[in-house]
Structure 1
Amino acid sequence: MKVILIADVKKVGQRGTLVTVADGYAQNVLIPRKLALPATVENLKKFEREKNAVQSKIALDEAFAKRALADLNGKTIQVIAKANEKEKLFETIHAKTVIEAIAKEYNVSLDSSALTFKDGPIKTLGSHRVIIAVQSAKAEVFVEVIKK
């Protein structure tokens, strides 16, 4: 029996795939547990519409990310932190702090996994390069750490 998987199923397939399984397995396991739908013409059309909607949303999100990162590219973000006389910070600056500064200054929300510190977490005063990568878009920003 052909079914459309609506959830990932081990040893069968991933969500959104059309697979052929034994009739008993489909009728007694997959369909009652709402892991799959019978591959009727109506269900295939419905699933195709949903798939197209998701793809268009992904494309829209990617376009927004590219535009936002193009605006951020080359900008300087200022972060204020406590430091000693040797310009060494009392507390390391991590991605979360930089993301909060970007959100406050440029009104762009990012995930911490999008940031890559060129030289590791920031531990000293001065300017530091940070790479932001979201999907296929990249930007390089400078984080200026100022003594409090």
Structure 2
Amino acid sequence: MQIILMEKISNLGQLGDVVNVKSGFARNYLIPQGKAKRATEQAIAEFQSRRAELEKKQTEILAAAQIVAAKLDGLLVQITQKAGSDGKLFGSVTNANIAEALTGLGFSVERTMIHMPHGQLKQVGDYPLSISLHGDVKASITVSVLGDSAF
């Protein structure tokens, strides 16, 4: 199915590109989320008339993401979990826990933005993580998992 991209999508294309994708991907994800429209003549004409407006909106989103990334870069987030004497956590620290901690600090971060290369954190310690705020903007934070004695 041919679609017009209404925003930049990683590994797919830029704003305004006409690309060919699988029908299910377009119908179930891209079109309902407003990330794309079917590539009909009417939709292409409508897009051309709104192109400047959409580009301005994308530029504003990118600028906002860069501001948040500047504030987040190098941030140390401390999370306390119950742990045994050997430093092993009872349970684990997930990206949802980290997103909740960042929200508590005043940042609007969703759990899907947090990239945890080694999976859930199961030991006490410091872990460098990256947060993808936008397709082109990433921030690096350090999560410090502190053990709370279970006694």
What is the match of residue 66 of structure 1? 66
The structure-2 alpha-carbon separation of the partners of 1:84 and 1:50, relative to structure 1 and needing over 3 Å to count, comes to same
What is the match of residue 3 of structure 2? 14
The TM-score, its normalising length taken from structure 2, stands at: 0.65
**Alignment pair present for 1:81 and 2:81:** yes
What pairs with 1:88-103 in structure 2 (closer than 5 Å)? 88-103=88-103
The structure-2 alpha-carbon separation of the partners of 1:88 and 1:38, relative to structure 1 and needing over 3 Å to count, comes to closer
- Give unmatched runs, 5+ long, in structure 2: 6-15, 19-37
What pairs with 1:127-146 in structure 2 (closer than 5 Å)? 127-134=126-133, 135-146=135-146
8 A contact 2:3–2:39 mirrored in 1: no
Deviation at 1:147, TM superposition (A): 2.2
The TM-score, its normalising length taken from structure 1, stands at: 0.67
How many percent identity over aligned positions? 22
3-state secondary structure, aligned to 1:82: strand
8 A contact 1:72–1:141 mirrored in 2: yes
What is the match of residue 121 of structure 1? 120
**Alignment pair present for 1:50 and 2:50:** yes
The structure-2 alpha-carbon separation of the partners of 1:38 and 1:130, relative to structure 1 and needing over 3 Å to count, comes to closer
The structure with the largest alpha-carbon Rg is 1
CA distance in 1: counterparts of 2:130 and 2:40, whole angstroms: 43
The one-character-per-residue Cα deviations of 1:63-116 (angstroms, maximum 9, x if unpaired) are: 1111101111111001111111111111111111101111111x1112323212
3-state secondary structure, aligned to 2:3: coil
- Give unmatched runs, 5+ long, in structure 1: 1-9, 20-34
The one-character-per-residue Cα deviations of 1:96-145 (angstroms, maximum 9, x if unpaired) are: 1101111111x111232321224332111121111112221122111111
Calculate the aligned-residue CA RMSD, in Å.
Answer: 2.5
What pairs with 1:5-44 in structure 2 (closer than 5 Å)? 10=1, 13-15=2-4, 44=45
Matched AA of 1:73: D
The structure-2 alpha-carbon separation of the partners of 1:37 and 1:75, relative to structure 1 and needing over 3 Å to count, comes to closer
